[in-house]
Structure 1
């Protein structure tokens, strides 16, 4: 890292890790910071996650999903010693940047990312709209097809008109139970 120009001051940096070991890297890094007395140079390490809603066994479940698998964000002042502590943490493969020079996140990028991580209530991102034809893939109406009549993004529900008993019947189901045809 020596003889490389690094942006002075405290910044957020992305550290590449082995995939699936992000939480272990954060734990190891926090232990190393404490034991090596680097609290004044390395301030925190986080695994960026967001809440998502999944349907498992017909029930809604909120899960934490990694935004950037294989990466950990570290808030630090880069010096030769702090770079060495982070870089030589078990399961860390390196900093994101050119060569051995870590490139910091822009303040705007960090704010956007933490805003995304801090959302208390998971949001639904509906990729369907009124009039789209969908197939129901879960629940009592599995394999029925119908046209979307109404959407409620706040609750994550949609109303579908399905053909049942020889007439169009409106059914309200969870958005995650359909697939666009």
Structure 2
């Protein structure tokens, strides 16, 4: 496969319900292999949906815009293709045969993806990335130390993995409720 200078967006097909696991696994592989130059961003597009419960209360939840698909911004090299393609839960790239086809900038923007954004979040002076260690400053688990698993810029929330109830537990917390260590 030819090497491109600038990363492009590609669509990866996954098993249904495995989108977030695939995203986390790819991000972890990128970090452990030092491939931040090749694979720059992994996104599972979501939108907020307001539902009415049986009791008549309105509840907001996130819904995947494209179930079974993950968007990856990457430079196609043999190694980057191999890492994504052989991630558990991935069935393949969208494109003819095994050749990935890049999305145009217009297609990416139509999907609501912020093309200027990166994996880093700078909010209120806090510089965060997936894998960073944080301390919970507000809420039920004040004082607990955890690891950032996912950053949701749209809802201004992060998923933090902490040790609670004798096991590692994943919690969704607002940006304002955490401090970087």
TM-score strictly above 0.5: yes
Report the more deviating stretch, 15-24 or 106-115: 106-115
Partner SS state of residue 31, structure 1: helix
Displacement of 1:9: 2.9
Residues 7 and 39 of structure 1, relative CA distance in 2, 3 Å threshold: closer
Q: Deviations over 1:114-143 (max 9, x none)?
A: 2699877xxxxxxxxxxxxxxxxxxxxxxx
Give the Cα separation in 2 of the matches to 1:85 and 1:110.
Answer: 22
Unmatched 5+ stretches in structure 1: 121-181
Which residue of structure 2 lines up, in the alignment, with residue 45 of structure 1? Answer: 42
- The answer to whether the 8 Å contact 1:33/1:42 transfers is yes
Which residue of structure 2 lines up, in the alignment, with residue 26 of structure 1? Answer: 23
Displacement of 1:7: 6.5
Residues 118 and 38 of structure 1, relative CA distance in 2, 3 Å threshold: closer
Which residue of structure 2 lines up, in the alignment, with residue 102 of structure 1? Answer: 100
Where in structure 1 do 4 or more consecutive aligned residues deviate above 4 Å?
A: 5-8, 115-120
TM-score by length of 1: 0.59
TM-score by length of 2: 0.59
- The answer to whether the 8 Å contact 2:45/2:113 transfers is no
Partner SS state of residue 97, structure 1: coil
Q: What root-mean-square deviation, in Å, do the aligned CA atoms of Structure 1 and Structure 2 show?
A: 2.3
Give the Cα separation in 1 of the matches to 2:4 and 2:107.
Answer: 16
Give the Cα separation in 2 of the matches to 1:8 and 1:97.
Answer: 20
Tell me the matched-pair count: 117
Structure showing greater radius of gyration is 1
Q: Which aligned pairs between 1:48-59 and structure 2 lie closer than 5 A?
A: 48-57=45-54, 58-59=56-57
